[in-house]
Amino acid sequence: MTWGLLKVEDQRKKLVEAYIDGEASMTHLAKKFNISRKTAYKWYNRYVEEGIDGLLDRSKAPHSPKKYFNEESIRIAVDLKLKFRKWGPKKILVLLKRRYPEHRWPSPTRLYQIFKEYHLVVPKRLRNRVPATHPLADVGASNDVWMVDFKGDIFTGDGNKCVPLTITDGYSRYLLCCEHLPKRGGEYVWPIYESLFKEMGIPNRIRTDNGPPFGSRGAGRLTPLAVKLVQAGVTPEWINPGHPEENGRHERMHLTLKQTTAQPPANTLTEQIQRMKQFQEEYNYERPHEALKMDTPSKYYTPLTRSWDGVLRSPEYDTKDFDVRKVGQSGCIWLNGIEYYISQTLTGEYVGFKEGDLGELAVFYGPVYLGKLAKGCFQKPKLKPKRIVRR
């Protein structure tokens, strides 16, 4: 006999009463009701102790959820949460275990409940996920790709404007730079690049958006700053217009930077700069990162994979494959008696031409594809169309 269609409580009562009345042994009754002897005795003992209420289902939650989480542990966890207000329970738990290995800590879910009791958490607003795109797939080691951008301006309490330039290593998420610059010009960004190249070595590529001073609408999206990168041995690359997800790792770091240092902004520019320095140290050496198996970026970043001697050199071309021309003062080159306008940004530099599959000539500045010579003119490649958001 199984539990059948009777209520579970009624089945239990029927079993217990049959045993008390001596109708059969517990072994026989357990077999009849298709349960174990241990379960049958459990319901009998509960009935003896509590009566009919002992046969009701009970919550499976632990009797004492704070069994291994005493008041001292709660205080430590809350204090840490107050210090890192923007961290979730997973990151807080990693830090608690790292700093207090002798304590027994609960699950992130229980930690979240405690923080909620202390009004230290805000429900997360769900966002539509953006699928990963191909440019991120080839980031396989430190210094494969550095991701660079200006964080949105931060206006401090005294009316000053903070313009943070941020640079991260795409593989390790290591925050290489988080500095305020006077302006968003290439003349201010290049000294930062130069300093990092000497200290950390040079990356294979630097990925940015298309805005100045990083990119332009000219040939190859090149700007004077991008030209210097090529001369330093670094390949510049740009995300497609309207597709910030192609630099998604860096954009996510910007959100954390904003939440930690600018909500609300500091009272003075000096204080804001100090907050950013503290954030950089914390982000690299203390804050656990879920994409790094809750380790810190410093555990994954390896500097000086390619050193730099500080000399800028124009790119060289294999003359077996390329025909080389110098760009004149007007931004033009001459080829077979025809003048082609390329870019004034490349004035004085050499560009290479390589015959394509359809007979056109592909034009390069070092590793950067500029366009093609076809039908008597220079044609720039078409960019991926900007995404339109309908409201």
- Per-residue pLDDT tens digits for 345-362: 999 999 999 887 777 899
- Per-residue pLDDT tens digits for 58-94: 766 555 554 556 788 888 888 888 888 888 888 888 8
317 in Cβ contact with 324 (< 8 Å): yes
The residue among 275, 253, 251, 277 whose CA lies nearest residue 264 is: 275
Query: Among the listed ranges 102-111, 198-207, 366-375, which one has the minimum average pLDDT value?
Result: 102-111
Q: Is residue 170 part of a domain?
A: yes
Clarify whether residues 178 and 285 are in a common domain: yes
Clarify whether residues 285 and 146 are in a common domain: yes
End-to-end CA distance of the chain: 62
Residue 269 belongs to a domain with what CATH number? Answer: 3.30.420.10
Say what the pTM is. Answer: 0.70
pLDDT interval class at 121 (50, 70, 90) = confident
Domain of 238 in residue numbering reads as 142-299
**What is the tally of helices (H) and strands (E) in the chain?**
10, 14
Q: CA–CA separation, 69 vs 11, rounded Å?
A: 39
Q: Is residue 13 part of a domain?
A: yes
Joined together, the tokens standing for residue 385 give: 């169309």
Q: CA–CA separation, 362 vs 371, rounded Å?
A: 6
Q: Is residue 32 part of a domain?
A: yes
3-state secondary structure of 237: strand
Clarify whether residues 177 and 113 are in a common domain: no
225 in Cβ contact with 190 (< 8 Å): yes
Q: Is residue 245 part of a domain?
A: yes
Clarify whether residues 286 and 158 are in a common domain: yes
Mean pLDDT of 125-152: 68
Please report the beta strands in 278-349, taking only residues with DSSP state E, as ranges in sequence order.
323-326, 332-335, 338-341
Clarify whether residues 174 and 276 are in a common domain: yes
Q: Is residue 318 part of a domain?
A: no
Of the CA atoms within 13 Å of residue 148, those in its CB half-sphere come to 30
- Beta strand 205-208 with 377-379 is unpaired
Count structural domains, the chain: 4
54 in Cβ contact with 46 (< 8 Å): yes
pLDDT interval class at 389 (50, 70, 90) = very low
Q: At residue 270, does pLDDT exceed 50?
A: yes
Clarify whether residues 156 and 295 are in a common domain: yes
Q: At residue 24, does pLDDT exceed 70?
A: yes
Mean pLDDT of 297-303: 94
